[in-house]
Structure 1
Amino acid sequence: MRLDDIQIRDPFVLTVPGEERSWLFGSTDANIWSGAATGFDTYWTTDFDEWHGPLPAFRPAEDFWSHTQYWAPEVHAYRGAYYMFATFTAEGRRRGTQVLRSSRPEGPYEPWSDGPLTPHDWECLDGTLYVEDGAAHLVFCHEWKDVGDGEIHAVRLSDDLRITVGEPVLLFRASDAPWARSIPRPEFDEVFVTDGPSMHRTTNGRLLMLWSSFGDSGYAMGVATSASGGVLGPWTQSADAIWPADGGHGMIFAAPDGQLFLTLHTPNRTPDERARFFPLEETAEGLRLQR
């Protein structure tokens, strides 16, 4: 199949060293917004043109705590296994990011952490793993539903990725970005969204974070840079969005031949969303996207 055949949001690509294939994960239920969730599927490719699948990467057991709104799975190779960081919610519980584990990149994945690792009294989503100097961190969004001006935080994880260590640290707020715009919601005077943080270390050592919000032309994605080169920042924001309209929640990956790509979903409407791939260059000024 081709990418146009695959309905998917929040795409994440895992390339396994030594294998001539890459795996595509994402929010794959036909309706991720409401109703019963099926789980997460994965697709694989050797050329980024023809795709194979779907394969069931995660299916919940009957006693799994969440049965709706399965969002934004990411899969990271870590210490000899594969760990899926995904967002779940349930009636009477706050949305949060839980860790699942498998011995193979395609799964099947089983719960690893005891429920979400994000604070249980916060509305959170889109947690990503970032390892710095051997220390694992969870970078995640604290939703506008709690704070109005959406936030991105980092918290240290235990070496086995089962629990958090210490308290979350605020990295920045959505309104810090010149390109971000508020959206109308009755709960707050102004609402700024934070979605989909994804970390990228450049060849010259800069630490970048892709993240999404709303800009002048709808859903968009910008880039933040850590002034210290570390996950705790301080973080400075790009003046303009790298993807300004009708798409976002992206990440950077390297194909087996080393070529960097940006993937994101566009358009930002269900059921039309599709993953797209764009060659990417690192420059002295930042990132250059080749459309």
Structure 2
Amino acid sequence: MRDPFVLKQESEGCYYLYGSTDPNIWKGKAIGFDVYKSRDLEDWEGPFPAFRPEPDFWSDTNYWAPEVHAYDGKYYMFATFKAEGVCRGTQILVADQPVGPFIPHSDGPVTPHDWECLDGTLYVDEDGTPWIVFCHEWVQVKNGTVCASRLSPELDRAIGEPILLFSALDASWVDAVKGGAGYVTDGPYAYRCNNGELLLLWSSFRQGRYAQGIARSVSGGILGPWVQEPEPIYENDGGHGMIFRTFEGKILLTLHAPNSTPDERPVFIELAEEDGRLRYV
């Protein structure tokens, strides 16, 4: 599994684990997304088929990075899709329960149709406005970026033009991939600290290895400006992470490591938070 994402379901006292689960996620015909269920993050039930495309679904490859968010009484999956001759993008799916089945909610991707995009995540600001935060991919722009777009209250379309938050080279620790071909931005995820500071997790490469970085919003809002932490929080060839709290109150970072297929697995790392700073326990 790549790109692990955990949904904590209070009413059931359990966790749902989603991720990129196709046997070959890089090429060939995609199958869908699976989900696992656990009460202790150690013993897992599943896999259960969370999403399987209908025959007329537009995308047939690169099913990546599903995130599931509880919002307004339903469960919304933000997931990356692609098809031959169509730009990669994040579409929003919906279901009545965390295990699915998820069905298309937005009319195709809500990211710009002429941009190669991936890894959309939901962020709801303090006014209750939903946003999608996503990456404009380095394969198209070389210096990958993280952008945000407002979403409709129904989460079925973007409203207005994307807003640039930062680019890969804004972080001093980022190195180029594939002999200088470009600079990667992957997997944004927003985390609000106890003191009100807003962090944004995202991933890139350092010295040839996948790494988990953190940006900090000066304003405390999603539009920043964003300041990059000088060092990744994890640089041992793992990333595309998110943070959640366990039922016992622990703060866990989950990411996949190593970054090689088919060896990648979800990893759970306990963190402590002090004055808006995160560190390993």
Written as runs of structure 1 = structure 2, the 5 A alignment for 1:3-82 is: 8-82=1-75
In structure 1, runs of 5+ residues without a counterpart are 1-7
Report runs of 4+ in structure 1 exceeding 6 Å deviation.
none
In the alignment, structure 1 residue 196 sits paired with structure 2 residue 187: yes
% same residue: 57
Asked if residue 98 in structure 1 is aligned to residue 94 in structure 2, the reply is: no
TM-score (norm 1): 0.94
CA distance in structure 1 between the aligned counterparts of 2:33 and 2:123, rounded to whole angstroms: 22
Say whether 1:226 aligns with 2:217: yes
In 2, the alpha carbon distance for the partners of 1:285 and 1:93 equals: 40
One-letter identity of the residue aligned with 2:78: F
C-alpha separation in 2, matches of 1:55 and 1:249: 22
SS at match of 2:169: helix
* Residue of 196, 206, 209 corresponding to 2:197: 206
Q: Verify the 8 A CA contact 1:196 1:249 in the aligned structure 2.
A: yes
Instruction: Check the 8 A contact 1:174/1:194 in 2, yes or no.
Output: yes
Partners of 2:210 and 2:15 lie apart in 1 by: 27
Gaps of 5+ in 2: none
Measure the CA separation in 1 of the matches of 2:234 and 2:40.
Answer: 24
SS of aligned partner of 1:175: helix
Q: What is the CA distance between 1:257 and its match in structure 2? A: 2.0
> Shift in Å at residue 289 of structure 1?
1.9
Distance in 2 of aligned mates of 1:47 and 1:285: 27
Alignment length, in residue pairs?
280
TM-score (norm 2): 0.98
TM superposition shift of 1:217: 4.8
Residue in 1 that maps onto 2:109: 116
| Inter-partner Cα distance in structure 2 for 1:120 and 1:42 | 28
- Higher relative contact order by CA 8 Å / sep ≥ 6: 1 or 2? 1
* Counterparts of 1:285 and 1:97, CA distance in 2: 30
What is the identity, as a one-letter code, of the residue corresponding to 1:256? F
Note the C-alpha offset of 1:285.
Answer: 5.7
Give the CA deviation at 1:18: 2.4
Separation in 1, partners of 2:152, 2:5: 24
Q: What is the aligned counterpart of 1:157 among 125, 147, 151?
A: 151
SS in 1 for 2:182: coil
Aligned residue runs from structure 1 range 198-277, under 5 A:
198-277=189-268
| Distance in structure 2 (CA, Å) of the matches to 1:68 and 1:18 | 34
Structure 1 partner of 2:80: 87
Taking the aligned partners of 2:208 and 2:118, their CA distance within structure 1 comes to 23
For the residues of structure 2 that align with 1:38 and 1:256, how far apart are their CA atoms? Answer: 32
